[in-house]
Amino acid sequence: MYEDLMKKAIDASTRAYVPYSNFPVGACVLTENDKTYTGCNFENSSFGLTICAERNAIGSAIADGERKIKAIAVYSPKQDNCTPCGACRQVISEFCDDNTDIIVKINDDLKIYKITELLPERFSL
Ligand code: THU
């Protein structure tokens, strides 16, 4: 079911700009309107300005007017089970609900997490 979403995340990872870490990441968001948006990480010589793949993909969805994430796939060719970093978990949390699927790849399988597992007792206003 989520194979297509993961394929798009994998494809996006090939366009990552990662001269400093050499750690490409791709993400693909599925919104409540069944639209998909991809993103890759892009780094900066001022390291703290690096943008993660997840936030890049979510930014594209937001810029297109989408507000609810049904699912997000995350992939790095460098790491199985490449789950979102802490900052991205908080950003995902802003636009997801408890049913949102956060999908990673482990070998040939997909594993689905919920935000309640990845960011328990999360902050929101
Ligand atoms: N990175 C992501 O794009 N998403 C994550 O959730 C983990 C980290 C990127 C940031 C940086 O370009 C590289 O991976 C190494 O941290």
Burial zone of 121 (CB within 10 Å; 0-12 exposed, 13-18 middle, 19+ buried): exposed
Write down the pLDDT at residue 59.
98
Write down the pLDDT at residue 1.
84
Give the rounded percent of residues in the chain with a pLDDT score beyond 70.
100
Write down the pLDDT at residue 109.
98
Show the domain range for 108: 2-118
Does residue 54 sit within a domain?
yes
Does residue 123 sit within a domain?
no
Q: What is the pLDDT of residues 58-101, one digit of tens each?
A: 999 999 999 999 999 999 999 999 999 999 999 999 999 999 99
Point out the catalytic residue in the list 32, 43, 54, 117: 54
Does residue 125 sit within a domain?
no
pTM value > 0.75: yes
Cα–Cα distance list, 111 to 1, 16, 66 (Å): 12, 23, 25
- Average per-residue pLDDT in the chain? 98
Closest C-alpha residue for ligand 1 atom 4: 52
Question: How many domains does the chain contain in total?
Answer: 1
What atom in ligand 1 is closest to the CA of residue 43? Answer: 12
Which CATH number goes with the domain that contains 7? 3.40.140.10
